[in-house]
Every structure is written in structure tokens, then in C-alpha cells.
Amino acid sequence: MKNLVIVESPTKAKTISKFLGRNFVVKSSFGHVRDLPKSKLGVDVEHNFEPHYIVSRDKTKVAKELKEAAKKCDGILFATDEDREGEAISWHLANILGIEPKDAKRIVFHEITKTAIMHALENPRPLDLKMVDAQQARRILDRLVGYELSPFLWRKVAKGLSAGRVQSVAVRLIVEREREIKAFNPEEYWSIEGLFCHSDSSLVIPAPVSEHGINSSGNPDNRTLDSQFVGNDNCLTAKLIAIKDKKIDKLDIKTKAEIDKILADLEKTTYIVENVEEKKTKRLPSPPFTTSTLQQEANSHLGFSAKQTMRLAQQLYEGIELGTEGSVGLITYMRTDAVNLSEKFLADAKDTIGNNFGKKYQLDSPRIYNNKSKNAQEAHEAVRPTEAMRTPESIEQYLDRQQFRLYDLIWRRAVATQMAPAELNATTIDISSQNDYKFRANGQTIVFDGFLKLFPDRAKENLLPQLKNNEPLTCNELKPEQHFTEPPARYSDATLVKAMENYGIGRPSTYAPTISTIEDRGYIERNEQKRFAPKDIAYIVNDLLVEHFHHVVDYEFTAEMENNLDEIARGKKQWRPVIGDFWKPFKENLDKKEQEIDKKVLTEEKSDEKCKKCGSDMIIKTGRFGKYLACTKYPECKTTKSLNAEEAKQQEAVEEANEKCEKCGEPMILRRGRFGPFLGCSGYPKCKNIKNIEIKMNMKCPKCGEGDIVQRRSKRGKPFYSCNRYPDCEYALWEKPTGEFCPTCKQPLVFAAKGVIKCSSKECDYKKTNEETASTKANPAEE
């Protein structure tokens, strides 16, 4: 008896095949085979929102092959992913194959291992039509908003724009954060530290600590244990925390005059140890990863985008070739809200911990974490390795660097959950002056590292000298420091995912696609620190939607709609009434705004500029790629000018060069696209020739010594920096060079994340902060 098993991925099919015998044929659907048509709405709003699904042209061959395979088999098992999207794929496949949903056999598993596959085969179930309805509702809602609102934006703002039920809310978050940053007024404040020693100690200067957490040796400080003080056997650094028993808050000391008064008061006073307090504390490991926390940690610690994290996690889940073992699924399903761990993994983790670290690192009984998300299903698990004993080092040779780093992150987090807590000694020393100024130093030592054994970078100690109450001290130095409050940081992948989760916007499966969509659509861009900044068009579209389509971008409304979808999945609501409640007021408002809103009011502003070709007034217009100056005599005069000073210079240089198109001979002109300015043939659309504009970095190529390093963009728009003698010289960097060279290996230094400058050579680990002066310049004449 032959059985056909259908999954959505060829890699997944390959991994599953090795667990099944000759009686099984495993085929892939390559994702969705049936969907709404791209050429039209595909939803009959007049007849209870009946969707019109079609098999897309690129999937007709797949559908045909699956039908032929089904005819040759006695039974069909649908083994797509266990979430709503996977359930819907199986439902569509059943429809294509002529199988009634009640007769369909569905098998689910959250890891691709032999045990999980065999258990799933023994326990098939019918299709869960409630989950299918929830997916349909989401798909139809998104189609109604996208296919109705996007054309409205084309007509009222610029062609090529898009709007979405979740993506537009994400853009709003980023725009509002940027406005917070621009409106921020920094406040001055001061702090003061003292270096205190035993009376017989010589002067000891503490290692300076910068605001970026990098000490003078270039190594990151231990922020995890919150160490900010430097001490040795005789001296310690302490911070002023109170004056005459009044606590000093962060912004209490506002001016240099106030600091000078404090310094004068402390000039001739004496100091004693007022109190030494030691307290034993325990530190527990974090819960295992959910989709959200995995994306956040991978971004914070590895620099991965949410999309990159999910792509790599998909590869690890579906299977990696491990030599003679063949294709092996290395982690559990990566789209989950749950923090549960299976009993098998708990037992295996305990054995792994005992074998690798010793019995004292094991727990007497498993540590259980409770799900905080109301949508987390108890049957689902956290993201974890499929085998605890499969250490990252044991399979490193089979993984590429990015796969290894993500697997290492997941393995350590999951195994650490079942390790003993870390035991710490926390010491607080309060130092008082004769005139009632109080300083405090905090220290921490590790009594037992416990789970921190897996995180050595977080297990550093901060030692303080052994002191007793009332012991006299000498103040060898008082160090005042000026600070200014800083605006909120722009969103990164990690913080945007966290904000979306906190607001209830989207679900684990939608975070990464949402971020990717608004980036691909040109609403946001990443700066050199990989944080998101809105483009000009984002402000216009966001303000239009907030003012005229408030429900679409309202945080609470969007979260409530997500809750409705969850209720549909639980069978507590029907999907058609939910769509109907949204559609009627939305459509009425859309028709009303079509008449009320004037495109010129939204996208045009007056300017003082005159057209240098015809002398007419120029206006500021907003297009898909931002603001620019345009002649009011268009289409008779097509003169445009960038508002960006750098681009305006490029435009002048292009006009002076009078470059001709090598294909048709027409003049090349400056145009602006999604990824910035480029040269385009003025004969467009007859001639579509384009060229990149080279932006010189004022730096000679370190490889050939002849060419200049210039900024270019990849086919996907990502900037990179390479020699302009390509292809004769293939030297290239992904990160922007600073124009300086590494003092250790003489390779170019580049800008890295979090304000750090590092060596571009993978073999060199030199780092420094932006504030430090460079030891070598690319152009010594500039010094």
C-alpha cells in the first residue's frame, strides 16, 4: 500500500524521506499552490466575501505532478507546517486533489526527527477548518486593504506605493519614533566619581570607561553584570549618590557651577567607609526562545535581520546534510509563541549537562517556564535543538558561518534553561565625607557560575577591596563628567519586533515579512548601525493614513483585529462577519476620501527656486522616492533638481560632463530611484539604459594601490565599497570604510554597529570607539 506524503518544501521532503520506507512517496508543493489572483481583487464583496482562488501559472506543473502522484497512491497524508499557513496549504491541496476536508488525513510535528515523524503517522487527524478560516480571514483582510488602499495612494501621492493592514502600522511606529528624535531637546547634567584608597596607597588611575561600554584596551565592558567600577586590592572608584541624606537623581546636578561648588565642598574633607553590605544572590537563565525572542537576540547579538534569522532557522528546521547521517533537522519549528520543552528534551539536556559540565550543574528537577502569550498552545514547543547532545562544535564543519552562529545561540539558550542558577556575591560599599556627601561602589563576584558556564562573556567579575565599617580612606581624585540626555534610539530589528509584539501588531509568523515589506517598498532605510529611518514618502503616506484612515493604522484597532483572528482560530468567531464589520465602514470612508483629497495639496509645496532652463517657478514635489524640485511648466519643461545637496552636486557634475548614452547616443541625465540617484538615458522609455553613479570614499584601494574605493549598490540595493578598477581589481567591502587603517595589520578600518570601528580583516580583532582618534589616516595631508 503506497502513501503520498505532501510537504511544502523540497528540503523538508528530503529530510522526511529517510525516515519512511518504500511504502511512502514524499513530494513537495513548493509553498502555496492555490491563492487569490494577482491581477484582480479576487474577493466577491457583494456575496459574503467569497474568495476566488486559482492555481497560479508557475504552480500548474507542480499541481499536475501532485495529481499524477496521488493517482498512483492508495492514501494521501498532508504534512505541511503546523501553523495556520501550513493548515491552509493542506486545505488548498486537498481541494486540488478532490479530497473533502473531513476525509483528509493531516499529520503534524514540531521537529523533523524519526520519533516525531513516526508519532505523527500513528496519529493522523482531520484538517482543522478553524485554523483555515483564520488564515483565510487574514488573507482576505490584507487583500481588501492592499488592493483598495494602494491604488488610492497611487492616485493621491505617487505611483508604486503600497499600504497594508500591518505594514502601515509598522511604518507609523518608525515615523513617530523619528519625530520623537527630532523633537528631542537634550538636557545637560553632571556626575562625579571619586577614586578612594587606603591612606597608605599610592595613586591608582582607573581604566576609563566610555559611554559605549568600551574600555581603553578596546574590549567590551561586562554590561550584563552591570559593572561600572574599577578597583584593585587597595583602591576603588565610587559615584556620588547623595548629599546630606538627599538622594541625587540622574538630572539633579545640571550645571558646571553646581559641580564646582561640590568640588569646593569636598576639597579638604575626610572620608570613611560608612557601610559595607554583602548579599548573596542567584541569577536564573532566560526562558527558551519563542519566535519573537529569537529574532530579538539574533539581531542584538549576531546582527541578523529578522528576515535573515527566519531564513536561517528554516534551513536548520528543514534539514542540513551531516555527512553520513544525511539530511538532519537540527531545531524545532521556528514559528511559535510557546516556551514549553518536551519531557524527552528535558531528560536529554540533563544528561548532556552532566556529561559535559558535571553533576553540580544539573537540576534535581526540570525547570518549567510558563507561557505568557494567551495564543501559545500547550502542545507547541519553544525553539530548541532537536537533540541536546548535538553540540554546536560537533556539527560546525557541516554548517556555514551564519547557520552555526544561529544554532549555537539556540542550543546555548535551550540547554542553559536546565542548568543550575549562577550564585553571586553582590557587594555595596558606601563612603561618606565629613560634610555628609555619600559615594557608592558596587561590586560582584561569582561564587558558582552555573548556567553562565555557557555564556563566559557574561560571567566577568568586578572586584572591590576588602574594607570595614568606619575605615578611613583617602580621596586621590575627584572626576566630574558632563553628560547630555539622549533621544530615544531608532528602531532596530530587535526593538521593532519587541514593539510590534507589545502592541499586539502581527503574530510570530508576520514580524519578519512585515519588516522586509516596508523596507522593500522604500518606506524605510537602514543606517550604518542597521537601524531604521523613515524616508520622505513614509511621512506623507503615514500622515495621510493617520488623518483620513485612522482605523487602518490605529494600534489598538490593529491589535483587536489580530485578537479576532485568534478567536476565529479557536472557533469562537466566524470569519465572514469579522470581515464584514471591517469592510463596510472602510469602503464608505475610502469613497468619501477619493472625492475630498487633492493630490496637489498633499504632494506640492512652493519654493523660491527658478528653473535655470526656462526661468519659471519651481515647486517642491513628492514622488515615490522622496522630495525634489520640478519646473511648473511641465510637461513643456522637464527640469528637475534634487533637494539633497550631495545629489544636487552630482546633478551639476552630470550636466557638465554631458555624458552620452553608449546605446543610443542621447544625453544621460540624473534620475532618482529607490536606492538613490543613478544615471538614466534621456531617451527613456525607448532606451532603458542606466548606470550607477560612483561615490568616491577619498581612499585608495589597499589591494592594487591604483584604483579609488567607491560606493556601489548590489542588485538588491545594498551598498558596498569596492575598487573602481573592477574587474581588474576585485577588492570589496560590505561595511563603510572610515578612511583610516588598522594600526595592527594596516587593513582599512570600517564602521560597525553600536558606534564601534573595527578592522575589515576577518583575521584581525582590532576595535575602537568612534571617539578615539585614529592612529593612521588614509590621507596624511588631511592631518
* 533-555 tens-digit pLDDT: 999 899 999 999 999 999 999 99
- Cell numbers placing 139: 488573507
Active-site annotation holds for 333: yes
Residues sharing a CB contact under 8 Å with residue 492, sequence separation 6 or more, in sequence order: 299, 300, 529, 530, 531, 532
| Structure confidence by residue, pLDDT tens digits, 345-361 | 999 999 999 999 999 99
What pLDDT, on the 0 to 100 scale, is given for residue 216?
A: 33
Measured CA to CA, the distance from residue 494 to residue 467 in angstroms comes to 42
Mean pLDDT across the stretch 318-335? 94
Measured CA to CA, the distance from residue 173 to residue 514 in angstroms comes to 12
Active-site pick, 333, 511, 539, 721: 333
* Strand intervals (E) in 316-371: 320-321, 327-328
What pLDDT, on the 0 to 100 scale, is given for residue 459?
A: 76
What pLDDT, on the 0 to 100 scale, is given for residue 183?
A: 96
Residue 34 pLDDT grade (very low, low, confident, very high; cuts 50, 70, 90): very high
Q: Is the dihedral of CA 503, 508, 510, 513 positive or negative?
A: positive
Residue 200 pLDDT grade (very low, low, confident, very high; cuts 50, 70, 90): low
Which phi and psi (to 5°) does residue 5 adopt? -110, 125
Of all residues in the chain, what percent carry a pLDDT higher than 70? 90
Question: In the predicted model, what is the mean pLDDT of the chain?
Answer: 88
Residue 570 DSSP label: T
SS3 content of the chain, % helix, strand, coil (to 5): 35, 25, 40
Measured CA to CA, the distance from residue 487 to residue 480 in angstroms comes to 23
**Cα within 13 Å of Cα(132), Cβ side:** 17
Mean pLDDT across the stretch 370-393? 80
Residue 770 DSSP label: T
Which of 21-25, 271-275, 557-561, 656-660 shows the lowest per-residue confidence on average (mean pLDDT)? 656-660
List the one residue out of 479, 480, 483, 482 whose CA is nearest residue 206.
479
First to last CA, the chain: 81
How many residues are there in the chain?
783
Q: Is 345 helix (H, G, I), strand (E, B) or coil?
A: helix
Measured CA to CA, the distance from residue 459 to residue 731 in angstroms comes to 39
Residue 374 pLDDT grade (very low, low, confident, very high; cuts 50, 70, 90): low
What pLDDT, on the 0 to 100 scale, is given for residue 219?
A: 36
692: pLDDT strictly greater than 90: no
- Cell numbers placing 123: 496519529
Residue 716 pLDDT grade (very low, low, confident, very high; cuts 50, 70, 90): low
Burial of 223 (0-12, 13-18, 19+ CB in 10 A): exposed
What pLDDT, on the 0 to 100 scale, is given for residue 119?
A: 94
Residues sharing a CB contact under 8 Å with residue 211, sequence separation 6 or more, in sequence order: none
199: pLDDT strictly greater than 90: no
Measured CA to CA, the distance from residue 359 to residue 65 in angstroms comes to 55
Which phi and psi (to 5°) does residue 421 adopt? -65, 155
| Structure confidence by residue, pLDDT tens digits, 577-592 | 999 999 999 999 999 9
Rg (CA), the chain: 31
**Helices and strands per DSSP (H, E), number in the chain:** 20, 34
* Contact by Cβ (8 Å): 515, 498: no
Residue 648 pLDDT grade (very low, low, confident, very high; cuts 50, 70, 90): low
Measured CA to CA, the distance from residue 380 to residue 373 in angstroms comes to 12
Residue 356 DSSP label: H
What pLDDT, on the 0 to 100 scale, is given for residue 674?
A: 65
* Contact by Cβ (8 Å): 534, 519: no
Mean pLDDT across the stretch 78-83? 93
What pLDDT, on the 0 to 100 scale, is given for residue 670?
A: 73
Measured CA to CA, the distance from residue 330 to residue 345 in angstroms comes to 13
How many Cβ atoms sit within 10 Å of the Cβ of residue 648? Answer: 16
Could you tell me which residues are beta bridge partners of residue 443? 427
Measured CA to CA, the distance from residue 148 to residue 155 in angstroms comes to 12
Residues sharing a CB contact under 8 Å with residue 391, sequence separation 6 or more, in sequence order: 352, 356, 411
Which phi and psi (to 5°) does residue 676 adopt? 110, -170
436: pLDDT strictly greater than 90: yes
Mean pLDDT across the stretch 46-66? 95
* Contact by Cβ (8 Å): 362, 354: yes
Mean pLDDT across the stretch 25-40? 94
Measured CA to CA, the distance from residue 508 to residue 510 in angstroms comes to 6
* Contact by Cβ (8 Å): 352, 388: yes
